[in-house]
Each structure stands twice: as structure tokens, then as C-alpha cells.
Structure 1
């Protein structure tokens, strides 16, 4: 048995004003099934890179482990998936097929180009590649992104059966609950470690936050009382000091004969006032130490432009195909003003392909009909947005965005202002997702098309989006695998079914 021991770890990116880790100390047992959670930009992926010695840091990280990281980098996504995987690791085809069968994936996808696979299919074959290797310690970064509900459950069941430990980064609360026996949370000012799953963390964190709030309220009352007392004593002291020069014929007026006694008493009161002020300053400093890990969530804004058009999208008997292989059975639906339609279905069923067809970006074949008004203002959140590059000022100018609204939404999504000067391509995946989302929120649109908007977003962001959508009630077409999110925001659902499934399309 081996431990990962971290002593006085200090690290921050050179172009950021604050440290991600400041003299952090941790001890992680290699047998733990550890869920690593925290808000975007707090350093979850950075910590995995530090463990792999990919970044320079101060302090010590000691272990005797060899790591295997997910997601693996695919250098040429145009070649067949099996060849792309074999370039990453020395594996046999039968090994990958065995893991794909365990993940309930048709091994035939290995004979398609990696680029042509859906996001969920790409995730699954990269997970299969990870699971082939049982000699290295797995560092698994966001494995549920792009996975449908069944896919997430299959991965959770697989990890539950693994005897070796691992570290998993995920914002999927249900997933972390299923697979973890320890949870590590990177908070605003510290790193907290809990024995148990996400529910354990949530309960303990709620108790801690409630205690901090109660202490804060008590301290605020104490500070108010001290301020009032110090102010009163200071006023009396100053008034007595003035009496030393008052009318000498009035008894007790502070005439010349009384100046010594008055001055001494005023000095004592002044001293007590200064002592109260010093105590109050110390209490204020204590107050600043409270609430240090409580998250504050501000409401987002959305530039939705309601239109006079009643029907924004009509789909009739639509079927899309690649190489004469239909992706789904024919489907029919309508999207009307202020409705929010969720496209449902397993990975590879063609949900993103329908979006691509609407946007005139689909490269396959089509039968049926898709119709929408001309010059319809559409704002699109993409699954893949790695082409977002440059500074934020360059980005806002290139996309003709209102800079103030864009930056406000970015900040409300939890993006630290210190990150605003960074190049987008150097940001974390969560931060880059926020760039893509804030762009969509800032664009004037009649229809919002969001393809898996929750990928890489933390639970606070997910709740923000739910509240925003329910408040604004925009017209939307959404692809998302988070069942709770869909249940809250969608007004209707359309389920795509692959042609091998002979059941009827559910609308």
C-alpha cells in the first residue's frame, strides 16, 4: 500500500494574481475511491497535473505510483478509432472490445473515424482504453461529460467493481455518490477531506456553513455594540477635554482648578475607547475569517428577444443518415414561442446531428423536412469550443458582444476577475465552457440551441441556469443528459431511437 503525500504545496499560474494552492497539506491513500470536487477554476485538473509532475511547484509531493490520465490526447482524430487508440497506448483490439462490451458499447464504432463519433462515443472508447490498464493509478477527469444516463450508470457500475483506488473529478452529484468512499473538496480558502460520498460532504458542508453564518450574525451584533460604546466614550472624552477650557465660575464646569481631574478621567475614558476600538478591529478581522468558504451565487442575465413568430421550428418525418445508415427513426415535432424542447436519446442517436442540420452544418444525408423562419436569430452553445482563443477583449470584439454584459455574466458564473486577462486557450475546461455560455447569454436571440450546456459546469452554475431559464422563459432546443435539469426546465421532450429499436418514436 502507498500514499500520495502532499506537504506545503504552493502553486499559482504566473499570469494569475492569486495562488490556487497555498501551503496545502494532504495525505491520500491509494486504496481510496476519491471524488474530487470544487468550483470551476479552483484547481482540480491542475492538481492532477501536479501529481503527474507536469507543472513546477513549491513544496513536496511524494508517492510510488505511476498514473494513467483520462481523457487521453488523440493527435489525429481523422483516422479510425482503433488506430487512434493504439497510438496512445500499446493495446490489442480484443482488449478494447472487451472493455467496450462491459460498457455496453458496440465494438463496431472502432472502425469509424474518431472525429465522426459522438461526444459520448468518444468518451466511452477513451474510458475503455483507460480501463484496459490495471497496473497504473487512474486519474479520471470529468468522465461523465457527453455520456447519456445509461452511459453514466454503466461507468459508475464499472468503477464500483474496481478493487484498485482512483481519483475522479466530476460535477455529477449522483455519480460521485455512487462511486466514492472519500470526497475531497477544493474550497475558496482551503481543501477539505471527507470520509464518505457526496451526500456525506453535502451534509457536513451544510452544517459548517450554518455554523459560520450563526457565528457571523453573533459577531456582527457584537461589533455593532462595540462601535456604539466606543463612539459614546470617545464623544464624552472629547467633551470633557473641552470642559477644561470652559467657564471658571461654574461649579464642576472644568475650571482651571478641575482641569487635572477632568483630564485624567478623560484620558482614562479615551484609553478605554482606544481599547474598545482595538478589540473591535480584532473582531472585524475574525469576522473576515468567517464565511470564507461560503459560495455566493448571483442571478445571470439573458438577452432573449421574444418574436412575433408563433412557430420557430417545424420538423416532419426527419431522418438523418451517414453512408446510407440512418441515425434514428423518422421524427416529427414543433417548437413554438417560449417552449423549451429537450432532445433525448442514447449517445450516437443523432441529437447533435439534428442541431447541425438546423445550422446547415450537417455533412450526411437527409429525408423529411426541417423548416424555420428566415433570418431567425439563433444563439448556439456548442459541445466543442476549443477554437475559442485569444484574450477576452479580442473574443468580445470578434463576436460583437456587449463587453460589460459578457463580463458580468462571466463573473456571476464564478470566473475570477484575475483570470480575465488570460488567453482563453490557457484556461481550464470549466472556464472555457463559461466563455462559450456567457457568449450565448449575451447574444440577442429568438431561439437558443444548447448542446450539452452542463458539461464542465459545477453544481452552482447548474442551479443558476435553472433559475435563469425558469425566470426568462426563452425559446430553447436543448440536448442534455442531466435528468434533473431537463425535468426542471423542459416543457416538452422528444426521444430519438436508433433504427435497430423498432419501438415508436415518443414525442
Structure 2
């Protein structure tokens, strides 16, 4: 057993006003299968870079590990996969073949050019390299990109079978839930370690947030009482000051004015009053320091419109393709308020079916596909690199209410400082949020979303689920996150390739 220990680590990027980690101390056991959770921009990938000593920081990080990071950088993707892997980590061929078999990757992939492998195959072979040498400590950053549900489950089984520990960053909650035994949450102002998987983290975080919210409510009431008392004492003091400056009063029996005595008494009274005010204000300030900076996730808004059409999409024995059909005939009807999920492996034709519904498919269509004329469709696309310009220009070009676009972007975790950045200069995560915020702000009768969760954090997933459950729009969704589909979909359509074996239908 060995440890990774952070002692008083402080780090912040020069381009950001606030630090990401401030005097952070943490101790991790290397045999843990640790899930690293947090909103985008909170420092998950930054922490992995700090462990690898790739960024300057204040403090100490102690460990005895050789870290291997996923995804690795492939310099020459036209090389054979075997040569790519040897360049990353020189190792015996049989060891690589053993790992590929565990990941259900055909060993012949080793002799194909790396760039001819599918995205899922590339992910798997790069994962295999991490575990070939058990002396390395894997840092796994978003391994589910490009993986369909079958491939994700294969990777789940693979990681479950490993006895060695690792640190995993993933926004797929079901995936994390199945493979980790500890969770490190990077929250708004602190790092919190949980003993258990993602479900344990969610339950314990909800309980802790509720407790801290209750404590905050009590503290705020006490602060209010102290400030009110201080204000009363201050006003009383001011009234005595006015009395002192007013007409002098006679003494009880002598009839002689003793303005000096009156002034002395007023001064003593004011001094005591001001001391009380100061003490009350200090107590209020002390109480304010006890308030917890709780991680709030604000609800999104969605501009779904009703329509007089009962049925929005009708498919009767539909097949699509170019030289030959991609999938077996599909028949379905989508009525208002229903949310259909398209389920199938990579390359099965799900995105092609969405293109046909949107009227952008240029290949061969067999069967009947009907969509009522005049309905507005709002989309989230896989490829949104054509989103460009300032957010104000983007809103005007897409007929959006600018305030609605900014409101949802901020709720999705995009800092206000980014609002003045041109879209093409934003990070991929920020650009994905622009695409999603656009769709949410577009008044529409039908929403078509193609892999909406890519680049989004687990808190965004929860926000999207909540707004869909609240608004109940009519939707067609392609998404490989099984938990998301289980939560929002009313129906599932299996898209089965024409050359699939019978087992694929199970």
C-alpha cells in the first residue's frame, strides 16, 4: 500500500482571478479506485496535471508513483496500432493482446493504421496500454467518449477486473457508479472524500447539503437578530446625541443648569452604546464566517411549445442508406409529449435517422417518414463547429432572446467573464454549452438532441434531466448514457444494423 499526499497545495491560472486550489491538503491510498467528480472548470484535469508535475504550484505533493495519463497523445496516427502502442509504452506483444481480449478488441487491430480504427477502438487500445505494466498508476480522463453502451459495459467489466487502483474522471454517472469504490468531490470551496461509489456520494452529499442548508438558515436568523439589535442601539445612541445638543435641563431642586454633568452622562451612555453596537457587529461578522458555501445547481428553462398536431413523427418500415440500407426497417409513431431514445451501437445509423427527420439526409430512403409541416424543431448537434461570433451576434442570428441564452449558459456553469469571448475561441465544453443553451432557448414543438451530454459535467446532467421532467417536451434523443435515458425517455427504439447477428436483438 502506498499513498499520494497533498500538503498545503495552492494553484491558480494567471488568466483567472481566483485560485482553483487554496491551501489544499489531501491523502489518497493508491489501491483505491477513485472517481474524481466536480463541475467543469473546478480543477479535475488540473489536479491530474499537478500530480504529474506538469504545472507550477505552491505546497508539496508526495508519492512514489509513475503516473500514466489517458488519453495519451498519439504523434503519428498513420502508423500501425502496434507501433503507436510501442511508442507509448514498450511492452511485450502478448501482454497487449491479453488486454485487448479483455476489452473485446480484435487482435488484428494491432496491424491496422491507428487512424482507421473507430473512436471506440482507439479508446480501448489506449486504455489497454495503461494496464499493461502494473507498476504504473493510471490517471483516466473521460474514457467513455466515443463509446456506445455495449463498449462502455465492456470497459466497465475491464476496470472492475483490475486489482490495481486508479483515478477516474468521467461524467457518465452509471459508469462511475460501477467501477469506483471512493469518490473525491471538488466542490465550490473544498475537496471532500467519500467512501463508496457515486450513488453513496449522491446520498451523502444530499444529506450534508441539507444539514448545512439548515445550519445556514439558523445562522442567517442569528445574524439578522444581531444586526437588528446593533441598529437599535445605534439609533438610541444617536437620539442621546441629539438630546445632548438640545436645550439644557434644570436640575431637580436647585434650579441651576448643570450642562457639564448632562454632557458627561450622555458621553458615557454613548460610549457604552457604541461598544454594544461594535460587539454586535463583530458577532454578526463571526457568524457570517460560519456560513457554508453550498454547491447550488440552478434549474434550467426550456421553451417547449404545444402544437395542435397529435403525432409529430411517423415512420413506416423506414430504411436509410447509400449503396445499401444501414439498419433494419423501423416503424414508430411519436406523439406530443413523448420522448423517444434511439438505441444502437456506433455506426448503426442513429444520427442518419435524425438527419432524415430534419430533412438533411441525401441518401436513399425506403418506406414512409412523415413530419407535419410548419412545426419548429430545436436541435443539439454532435458537430457544432459552425457556431461562431459573439454571443449577441449568435442570439440574433438564431432568433433567440439574448437574456435567455445568457441565463441558461450561466446556470450551466459558464462564467460571466466568458460571455464576451467569441464562440470559436471558447473551450469545447463551453461551445457545447452554447449549443445546448441555444436549443433550450429556441421555442419549438419538437426537440432533436444528438449526444447532448458530451463535455457536460454530472451536475449539468441532473439539470437537463430536471428540466425535461418538468417541461415534458416532445423529443428524440441519441445518448449512450444509460442512466440519462432511463430517467427521461418514455420510449426506446432499437436501431439494428442490417448485418447484425441475432444476438444483437436481445
TM-score grouping bracket, smaller chain normalisation? 0.7 to 0.9
Q: Which residue of 1 aligns with 2:11?
A: 11
**Aligned ranges for residues 173-184 of structure 1 at < 5 Å?**
173-184=173-184
Q: Which residue of 2 aligns with 1:342?
A: 341
Residues of 2 paired with 1:193 and 1:394: CA distance?
Answer: 43
Residues of 2 paired with 1:77 and 1:302: CA distance?
Answer: 42
Residues of 1 paired with 2:326 and 2:94: CA distance?
Answer: 26
Residues of 2 paired with 1:347 and 1:156: CA distance?
Answer: 17
Is residue 237 from structure 1 mapped to residue 240 from structure 2 by the alignment? no
Q: Which residue of 2 aligns with 1:163?
A: 163
Q: 1:269 to 1:133 in 2, by over 3 A?
A: farther
Q: What count of residue pairs does the alignment treat as equivalent?
A: 504
Q: Which residue of 1 aligns with 2:500?
A: 500
Q: Which residue of 2 aligns with 1:295?
A: 295
Residues of 1 paired with 2:78 and 2:379: CA distance?
Answer: 25
1:294 positional shift: 1.1
Is the 1:343–1:494 Cα contact (8 Å) retained in structure 2? yes
- Which shows bigger deviation, 428-437 or 136-145? 428-437
**Aligned ranges for residues 307-386 of structure 1 at < 5 Å?**
307-320=307-320, 324=324, 327-359=326-358, 367-373=366-372, 377-385=376-384
SS in 2 for 1:244: helix
Is the 2:250–2:257 Cα contact (8 Å) retained in structure 1? no
1:408 positional shift: 0.9
Q: 1:124 to 1:48 in 2, by over 3 A?
A: same
Residues of 2 paired with 1:286 and 1:305: CA distance?
Answer: 49
Is the 1:12–1:18 Cα contact (8 Å) retained in structure 2? yes
1:318 positional shift: 2.8
TM-score (norm 2): 0.83
- TM-superposition CA deviations, 1:277-306 (whole Å, max 9, x none): 334433443444445441222222223344
- TM-superposition CA deviations, 1:74-94 (whole Å, max 9, x none): 567788877776776657876
Residues of 1 paired with 2:89 and 2:399: CA distance?
Answer: 43
Q: 1:63 to 1:503 in 2, by over 3 A?
A: closer
- TM-superposition CA deviations, 1:143-185 (whole Å, max 9, x none): 2345444443432332222122211012334433332233211
Q: 1:205 to 1:308 in 2, by over 3 A?
A: closer
TM-score (norm 1): 0.83
Is residue 491 from structure 1 mapped to residue 490 from structure 2 by the alignment? yes
Residues of 1 paired with 2:75 and 2:164: CA distance?
Answer: 29
Q: Which runs of no fewer than 5 residues in structure 2 stay unpaired?
A: none
Q: Which residue of 1 aligns with 2:270?
A: 270
Is residue 216 from structure 1 mapped to residue 216 from structure 2 by the alignment? yes
1:417 positional shift: 1.8
Q: Which runs of no fewer than 5 residues in structure 1 stay unpaired?
A: none
Is residue 434 from structure 1 mapped to residue 433 from structure 2 by the alignment? yes
Residues of 2 paired with 1:500 and 1:460: CA distance?
Answer: 36
SS in 1 for 2:69: strand
SS in 1 for 2:502: coil
SS in 1 for 2:304: coil
Residues of 2 paired with 1:45 and 1:177: CA distance?
Answer: 20
Q: 1:341 to 1:174 in 2, by over 3 A?
A: closer
Residues of 2 paired with 1:384 and 1:166: CA distance?
Answer: 32
